Amino acid sequence: MKRDLDESNERPTQSDSARGESLHRHAFSHAWRHPDQESPQEEARKLLSPKDNEEEVEARIRDFAQATGEKVDLARRRFLMATTGAAATLLALPKFSSLVTKAEAAVDVQSLANPSQTDLPEVAFKPKPDNFAWTFGGYKPIISVKPGQLVRLWTEDAFAGGIRSKNDLPTKVLKFPFVNPQTGPIYVEGASVGDTLAIHFIDLKPARDWAASCTIPLFGSLTGTIYTQLLNPALPEVVWMYQVKPDRGVVVYQANDSDMSVEIPLMPFHGTVGVAPKAMEVRNVLVPEAFGGNMDSPEARAGTTIYLGVNVEGALFSIGDGHYSQSEGEVCGVAVEGAMYTTLTVDVIKNVYVDWPRLENDEYIMTAGSYRPLEDCFRIAYTQMVRWLSTDFGLSLMDAYQLVSQVSKTHVANVVDPNYTIIAKFPKKYLPPNKVPMGGVHEKLKRLAASWGDKAQARPFNA
């Protein structure tokens, strides 16, 4: 690791001469602010009053931009994002409509990022077998990253590379609990208990031209398990090997007992994404829960931002369990498992804590519930969604409940792990206008990723 944990409480300070840069950090990076500096909401309230008309607000923004050296378009956008609190209701007034339109207009991509972010060096890490993490919690960080850095990682498959042919039966090559190795934990500078970590997946690509799936005795949704015990014998162990053809965007299923072969869409995602749990807990990497973990959701793919509550200094997040394809529910318990090259970036949302994982892509906001029985997963996911809409978007609890009941979708992620996972999906097109989820972090990180262009593509590397 690049820095000792004893140094992790150091926080960056900002001089008066860096005032303009600090305003970028306030609105776009949620980074530490100096105790003497006002919050974005406090700054915005000074700029906006119910008695103002649009011309007066525009004049203030121009004066503000001139005083801080910001571009006017950027100042508008920063102002809009800063007013996602109580002042946001004022922006919904018709007299401010064109100001909102201007603020939402496309802005130069580079200017949207904290200038210091675009200059940060890339971080690349490829773990050796003795670097893997086998639990969430209980491990020291292996690397440290800053919000806004481009992070390049390699992850091993769930079998730790042990299944390479039909003859490699799981009970012969796997040694529990050394299953589902994770790359991590990774220390995020500036992440403190009570914050939220945002992980934005930029690109995921298979690291091999082959992958494996199998059945494992006493594991899967349609067999007896150690929790659902039956007198009939366990299903047999069988291994299926897949050809991976990234140029065609497919993996090739080949039946073992017949000549049938079919191409399946290649849809890379990470089955496991999580942070260190609360209360000094240490949880096996096969378990999903409030800290994230082995949710096995295909939503954890390129273009998605995952939000996880920070329970320890630095968050200590890990990723792994690369899947090239998987059904909803992960029916037999094993996806098309493969090693993965992944690029991502992170951000820290200060003083906001999400109790359960949240996800966001361009079309949906999502909440995850992981527990048993399956009904409780559903209740967790949808209770979290209703409360999110009520707390952050101005709806009453009952109005949010009704709207969610009519437009949401249910994604069954897994029904095989020690805890099951359900994802509640709410279409963003039905969100109230002029309010953005999680302070606009998903959009910010997406633009930052776009600013890197081809540099952010996942690819082979040595590290």
The pLDDT of residue 65: 66
The pLDDT of residue 302: 98
Q: What is the pLDDT of residues 212-256, one digit of tens each?
A: 999 999 999 999 998 899 999 999 999 999 999 999 999 999 999
Does residue 199 register a pLDDT over 80?
A: yes
Does residue 90 register a pLDDT over 60?
A: no
What token pair was written down for 8? Answer: 């992790």
Does residue 151 register a pLDDT over 70?
A: yes
Does residue 194 register a pLDDT over 50?
A: yes
| Closest residue by Cα to residue 99 from 59, 54, 56 | 54
Sign of CA dihedral 136, 137, 140, 143: positive
Does residue 79 register a pLDDT over 80?
A: no
- What is the chain's Cα-based Rg? 23
Does residue 185 register a pLDDT over 60?
A: yes
Strands (E) in 135-257, as ranges, are 135-136, 143-145, 151-155, 182-188, 196-206, 210-215, 238-245, 250-254
Does residue 320 register a pLDDT over 50?
A: yes
The pLDDT of residue 181: 98
Does residue 188 register a pLDDT over 80?
A: yes
Residue 87: φ, ψ to 5°: -70, -15
Strands (E) in 377-436, as ranges, are 409-414, 420-427
Q: What is the mean pLDDT of the chain?
A: 84
What domains can you pick out in the chain, each with its CATH number? Answer: 12-116 (no CATH), 121-354+447-456 (2.60.120.580)
Q: How far is CA 302 from the centre of its chain?
A: 10
Prior bond to 40 cis, omega within 30? no
The pLDDT of residue 99: 53
The pLDDT of residue 376: 97
The pLDDT of residue 227: 86
DSSP secondary structure string for all residues of 33-59: --TTSPPHHHHHHHH--TT--HHHHHH
Q: What is the pLDDT of residues 245-300, one digit of tens each?
A: 999 999 999 999 999 999 999 999 999 999 999 999 999 999 999 999 999 999 99
What token pair was written down for 319? Answer: 């990723």
Interhelix angle 54-68/40-47, rounded to 10 degrees, is: 130
Q: In the chain, what percentage of residues exceed pLDDT 70? A: 76
The pLDDT of residue 383: 98
Does residue 354 register a pLDDT over 70?
A: yes
Least confident range from 60-74, 187-201, 254-268: namely 60-74
Q: How confident is the model at residue 411 (pLDDT cuts 50, 70, 90)?
A: very high
Does residue 20 register a pLDDT over 50?
A: no
Between residues 114 and 434, the one the model is more confident about? 434
Count the alpha carbons within 13 Å of 205 in the hemisphere toward its beta carbon.
15
DSSP secondary structure string for all residues of 327-379: -TB-TTS--EE--EEEEEEEEEETT---SS-EEE-SSEEEEEEEESSHHHHHH
